[in-house]
Amino acid sequence: MKNHRDAMSWEELDKFVIKEVDRANGATNSYSNLRLFGNSEKDIQVTLYRDNHAWCPYCQKIWLWLEWKQIPYQIKKVTMRCYGRKEDWYLKKVPSGMLPALEVNGKLITESDLILLTLEEVFGSLGVSLGNPQSIKLRKLERRLFSAWCQWLCTPRLSNQQEERCKEIFNQEAKNLEYKLQETKGPFLDESLIDKDKMLPGVTDIIFVPYLERMSASLAYYKGFNVRKEFPLINKWFEALEKLTEYQGTQGDFHTHAHDLPPQMGGCWKNSNPMQEEFSYAIDTGVGLGGLETSWKYEGDDKNLPKKYALQRVIKHRKTLLDLNPLGPKKFDQPLRASLTTMLLNEPCHPNPGSANGLRYLRDRISVPRDMNILSARYFRNALEKTAQIDGPSIRSNIPTRNRFDQDPIPFKNMDN
């Protein structure tokens, strides 16, 4: 008698698919090429050039600012060099290839701080202006924190004494940020009143978002150090952000950051210790770090909606995912359906023998938020790993560290992603 169920067919899986979101007017998402916020296309004054992977930290700043200010804009997506060849049309426009770039009323600007200053001039500030002395002090603190993080994470072959010294420097700058958060009335550094019922972070918070997110992920994975556990006010700041749909739509997960950072940073170096091994294993196998990674929990009526959202994304790109998998489309079809069945029904579903490597290949190439949001990715990664474990022991797959050409977006670009 079988103790497991069969994988659902694609026709059966299709019954779980949910309606496509309104990309132009709905919640913040990585797939939009147009954001209107209830306005007309004729109201658009802004074009944002950002990365296909929705990973670039400097693009994230501009993205969040536009979302929180609800400025209608169009998006044109460009490949970061880490992931593949940059498009010729963009190099003609911006010869350096620098991202982000922004056109406002026909004027092209590059470099994220200059873009934010220009947006403030045209549309007004989000909270305290970037040029305000308070903002300037906080921006300098962000750069010191960034420098301390880079020194600790990206310096190879640190001695034990050097490790502790780098950790101490990072801790001090993070404490300085805690002191600033302690001085504020709410969870944010610079609250911005959009309407009488909704307090949002200001531009100085936006300056901190991208790299605090990446610090939290990378230090957990490579050092066994969890920023949110060590610094309670920074954790409250994250928790407040994670209640906002604008941030939810841009937030990456620890797996994506931990494995996309090395080629961007010139290498990330481990300090092997029991906590580092525990954290990195949980991140690699898709379990994640629970509340130490994100406090966001889906609270709608349909508790399976994040799973259905993951399914929707897989079905949309099914042919490409099957074609790119090292097992090939025929051999990977059943294991993929088995993992989706496991995810949706929370029941073990046996894959065909010899499929573990193919399942883990996909597990390690889900990019958040490019492919799906952090909650959906957690369910899907976990289902892929659970299904792979039925076929073979839990092992870490080989993820490139000099580039991420294995995530080249070109095969997906003919589809509206």
- The set of residues, in sequence order, having a beta carbon less than 8 Å from that of 198 and lying 6+ positions away, is none
What pLDDT sits at residue 21?
Answer: 85
Average the pLDDT over 214-241 and give the result.
97
Q: Is residue 294 left, alpha or beta, with left meaning phi > 0 and alpha meaning psi from -120 to 50?
A: beta
Question: How many Å apart are CA 110 and CA 116, to the nearest integer?
Answer: 10
- Picking from 136, 138, 134, 78, the residue whose alpha carbon sits closest to that of residue 110 is 78
Give the pLDDT band (50/70/90) at residue 412: confident
What pLDDT sits at residue 256?
Answer: 97
> For 182, phi and psi rounded to 5 degrees?
-65, -25
What pLDDT sits at residue 78?
Answer: 97
Query: What is the pTM for the complete model shown?
Result: 0.95
- Picking from 354, 362, 348, the residue whose alpha carbon sits closest to that of residue 397 is 362
Average the pLDDT over 297-316 and give the result.
92
What's the CA angle centered on 190, arms 185 and 192, to 5 degrees?
100
pLDDT in tens, 65-114: 999 999 999 999 999 999 999 999 999 999 999 999 999 988 999 999 99
What pLDDT sits at residue 194?
Answer: 57
Other residues' Cβ atoms within 10 Å of the Cβ of residue 254? 28
pLDDT in tens, 132-185: 999 999 999 999 999 999 999 999 999 999 999 999 999 999 999 999 999 998
Give the pLDDT band (50/70/90) at residue 413: confident
Q: Which residues pair with 48 in a beta bridge?
A: 75, 102
Q: Is the pLDDT of residue 204 over 80?
A: yes
Question: How many Å apart are CA 312 and CA 315, to the nearest integer?
Answer: 5
DSSP letter (8 states) at residue 270:
-
Identify each DSSP E strand in 230-285 by its residue range: none
**Domains in the chain and their CATH numbers?**
10-15+301-412 (no CATH), 34-123 (3.40.30.10), 133-292 (1.20.1050.10)
What pLDDT sits at residue 411?
Answer: 87
Two structure tokens written together for 344: 């949706």
Q: Is the pLDDT of residue 54 over 50?
A: yes
Q: Is the pLDDT of residue 269 over 80?
A: yes
Q: What is the CA radius of gyration of the chain?
A: 22
Q: Is the pLDDT of residue 312 over 60?
A: yes
